[in-house]
Chains A and B, each alone.
Chain A
Amino acid sequence: MAGLTGCTTMSEKSPRSPSSRSGDGGFGPRTTQGVRLALLGVVLAAGAAGVSTFAYFQSPYWNRVGVASSQPIPFSHRHHVSEVHLDCRFCHATAETSPAAGMPSVTTCLTCHSQLFAREAMFIPLQQSARTRTPLLWAKVNTLPDHVIFDHSIHLARGLACAACHGDVGSMALTAKARALTMRQCLDCHRSSSPSGHTAPGTNLLTNCSTCHH
């Protein structure tokens, strides 16, 4: 457009340019190049920030996968499951009958540990609890996302193995979360096991929102 080219001529003989040196306001080609690079840097930084945030929320650091939390007693599932061959339900008794899997009472522990290793220092909390009749508090390992109504019994009734969510506890010296247990993981399973095969919400009972949220 003729109009636009007109202004080069104009800008050269610009009225009162301050000092001939800073006609470009100190922006020589090099400076300009620097500015361009800086701009590029800003763009890249923004991108990087986004990616790392996303990565953070997927990371074990956030969802604690494989991170064993410290317990009052260094309980080993490996020992009790792989070596002693206890059934899960021996301790987690109500898993098949109620929403909660159930934690063993101290007395349950003492059925063996009143004799076995009873002298070991690590059992002091156990004996204290038994003596003082105060509950023994364990650190919770498997946490679900917010606002979920979860029922162990119905999952077992539908033939889901404990390991499907809790992993191979038999190989854990100290118990840790085996899977992130994010909503997506729930959905992966609920969608695939839909009787009708298709996964559009509303066509499969298991993908109904109210199945887990109400």
Chain B
Amino acid sequence: MSLVFGYSAGASPGSRAGMRAYDDGRVELLEPGADWREIATLSADEVDQLAERTRAAGILDLPEEVPRPAQMDGGGECELRSELDGRSVRSVIHGWNEMNPPARPSLELVLAMSGLVSAAQTRG
């Protein structure tokens, strides 16, 4: 079992929130001040969609650190992880915000993940 894609955003350990999905379809949620907990199961097709979107977003090729734009103050941090295709990627994007162009592919990926997870949650 390996991680297809996961992220956690927030400035401190106590404020981080995120989601992660494994290749067996299991989805876990991180809420501020709590531990990861399972909330849904993706179908095999949904797992494939997430994997494809993760590759397309360039997550596997991200550097360890992506700096925030020089003119941005704040914006938070986001840690991205993936173990797709035998890789083990961990990248931190500083200024995880639409105003940071290098962050946009991962922002779109998280929105896509949200749609897949929401579908899984609402079908019961």
A binds B: no
Interface residue ranges, A against B (CB under 8 Å):
none
Interface residue ranges, B against A (CB under 8 Å):
none
